[in-house]
Copies of this chain bind each other. A is one copy, B any other.
Amino acid sequence: MSPQRSLKPTPRTRRATPADDGPSASERAYAHIRARLFDGTFTGNMMLSEGDIAEELAISRTPVHEALLRCEFEGHIRLYPKRGALVLPVSAKEIQDVLVTRRLIEVHAADLAAQSRELGPGLLAQVDTQADLLHRELDEEFSTADDAFHKQIIQATGNGLLDRAYAMARDVPLRVGNSNLRRHPERVAQLIAEHRAIAQAIADGDPAAARAAVEHHLDMAMKSLLRAI
């Protein structure tokens, strides 16, 4: 009668055979949709169809459907039954909401990081890397480095839930910001300076300064993003 086997707690991480088929079809569909969302191919109010995406990737609709479900959960699109997927436009309100949320999370994380000071040297080095990427005009890499900088501070909290919440909050700016940064290199230089202030406060073990630096950084980011849409 029991429909589930009661326990089988041996999910060993090793695999007898690595059997690396690469990412699954579902993951490829998900990555593809996100990439289009971030590079601006899928813009606000656009209507997507599973079939078209499936055809493009030469896979069936099933994994595409799963990817769309996930994107809906993450707030990027909205699924209308039997009608299709509407790409939600990024509104000013949403950007404000995201930045408020990020502020709550990142201020908390930076405070903790400053208390331990461990991250300091690593973060300062990362800021140098960012400056280098700016000089070499490697936009894509810069965006990745920016992401890594913030993510590292969050992850140092060890709080997986915060991490997931942050991941959702970060996607929205990416939809606006990726194309935006390219057009405003002066903003990027400023952004790096703000990063440096955060890293320095953490390295100094000054939680109050770290909180203030993060708040300033996010304030500036919000203004920049609001100008961009």
A66 interface residue (CB < 8 Å to B) = yes
Picked from B6, B73, B161, the residue with its CB within 8 Å of the CB of A169 is B161
Measured in the bound complex, the distance between the Cα atoms of B7 and A9 in whole Å is 49
Q: A57-83 interface mask toward B, CB cutoff 8 Å, 1 = contact, 0 = none?
A: 000001001100110010100101101
A11 at the interface (CB under 8 A from B): yes
A49 within 8 A of partner (CB): yes
CB contacts (< 8 Å) of A62 on chain B: these are: 62
Give the copy number: 2
Q: Is the CB of B101 within 8 A of A161?
A: yes
Are B9 and A159 neighbours in the complex by a CB distance under 8 Å? no
Number of interface residues of A (CB under 8 A): 50
User: Measured between alpha carbons, how far is A53 from B66 in the docked complex, in Å?
Assistant: 19
Cross-chain contact of A8 among B47, B73, B98 (Cβ < 8 A): B47
Give CA–CA (A62, B77) in the complex, Å. 21
Knowing A66-B69, A86-B11, say if A47 contacts B5 (CB, 8 Å): yes
B interface footprint on A94-110 (CB within 8 Å = 1, 0 otherwise): 10011011001100100
What distance in Å separates the Cβ of A27 from its nearest Cβ neighbour in chain B? 11
Is A122 part of the binding interface, using a Cβ–Cβ cutoff of 8 Å? no
**In contact, A47 and B7 (Cβ under 8 angstroms):** yes
Q: Are A45 and B4 closer than 8 Å at their CB atoms? A: no
The A37-61 residues at the B interface (CB cut-off 8 A) are 42, 45-49, 52-53, 55-56
Contact of A161 among B52, B97, B158, B159 (CB under 8 A): B97
Task: Check A73 against B73 for contact (C-beta < 8 Å).
Answer: yes
Given A9-B45, A83-B11: A53 and B3 within 8 A (CB)?
Answer: yes
Report the 3 A-B pairs with minimum CB-CB distance, sorted nearest first. A165-B165, A3-B52, A97-B159
Interchain residue pairs with CB less than 8 A apart (17): A4-B47, A4-B48, A5-B46, A7-B47, A8-B84, A9-B45, A62-B62, A73-B73, A75-B161, A94-B160, A97-B159, A97-B161, A101-B159, A101-B165, A161-B169, A161-B172, A165-B165
